[in-house]
Structure 1
């Protein structure tokens, strides 16, 4: 890739996408799930008190404009305590972790969790690779923008792949369909909706989000087609960069999503640890 992407740009893309995805949920959904959000320092802080999946309470976007300090982390943890959250995930690019991070973690009850890979790509390169005559084409599947009448079905497939329940969460997911900054795509196998992916447009970047394919429809090239469709849309919007995240490979494991993105021209920008905060017994 010809340009080096600063971590602040890569983190901003993800943080703003997740902030919009959660805060645009309907009020009844927000109340049922115990959702709240704040901007503390330059971080996006998202809380979902009644989240049975333990996924959606996240603090991210740190270090975009100001350093990470013990005082900042303490303020974020205080927010989660006030919200009654049982746990949350802190996501910080390696370059913004302060020298006293070990001491901060010990003080606040933060421990290391799974490792993610942050990927970046130039839109033009991904589109060129996707449209190359010698690229293997999909086997019986097609990608199309999500129509309003398919929003519930699209949301249900996404949640099913990620092991999340439909109740309340469907309302959060479908709120992004029709939003002017979101571009949801559906993967179809005949008349069956079998895969999902969406993209958030912020400035000159496009954030890849919620790529998911049902097990029986995998190994047909569908995920690559979902990536390609979003890259083409990003090009039409004037975006220069694509940003994505996926799980890191460890102990001989293989992540097909990672390899699909690498094959289309994404590059690993850095690996980023999930840092887990859990509510203490005395909180």
Structure 2
């Protein structure tokens, strides 16, 4: 792999941590080259995560991350590391610190100019500030968490530096959304979701294509994304859409969960 996909992902997590409303109790910090986000009142138990590290994982790095969470009063968090950074004895290091392997994500990427176009009967366009509140609620509804302060966090990313949100409309109704963060030569695709009643009509494929083109115009050579794996037993439309768009699976990354002993 000749580009760093971990840092680009960490940058959009950092952005969300900075723009999150006070009701979520979010704090975000940088540790070495990585990003550590703690969301005290996360309604979906997802956003407290440490990621974006580019140096080999050591006991000292793990202890520094976990000490940060303990000082901040975190009850639980997830740690994410590119597999090529893990030492041979990582399983032992993880067990000694109460880290438990949960699920596995796939990291995907490819050249921005090579992402395939995708037809759809929806109108695809950038999200304006006037659409921001609707965009936040549509994205979170697509993820199954409507009506929470997380919608305000997504809303607040509209107009943020290097952020390019797009949406799909059925007439005047916004039905799907997806975000793009430009980080140097890398465009990170994230926060893509579709309202349940409008799935299967190509909205996300078209949004992948539109964001890849926006990334290319912004000077990116590459686009990256991450999502859950897709198997015959448990297909993942997000993963399949990305593969059809021309993104290759770069590697698989285990999500390690830490829980405070007193939690």
Q: Secondary structure at the match of 1:89?
A: strand
Counterpart in the other structure of 2:9: 14
How many Å apart are 1:250 and its aligned residue? 4.1
Rg larger in structure? 1
Counterpart of 1:92 (choices 78, 81, 100) is: 81
Counterpart of 2:48 (choices 57, 68, 80) is: 57
Counterpart in the other structure of 1:73: 62
TM score, norm. by length of structure 2 = 0.95
Cα offsets for 1:5-43 (capped at 9, x unmatched): 34xx01011011211122133xxx23x222111212222
Q: Secondary structure at the match of 1:149?
A: helix
Contact 2:7 2:34 in 1 (8 A): no
Cα offsets for 1:57-115 (capped at 9, x unmatched): 000012x1x32111111111111112121111111111011222122212211100111
How many Å apart are 1:251 and its aligned residue? 6.3
Contact 1:14 1:207 in 2 (8 A): yes
Counterpart in the other structure of 1:224: 205
The question of 1:121 aligning with 2:121 is answered no
> Deviation above 6 Å: which 4+ runs of structure 1?
none
Counterpart in the other structure of 1:201: 182
Contact 2:230 2:240 in 1 (8 A): no
Matches within 5 A, 1:152-167: 152-167=133-148
Contact 2:101 2:257 in 1 (8 A): yes
TM score, norm. by length of structure 1 = 0.89
Counterpart in the other structure of 1:148: 129
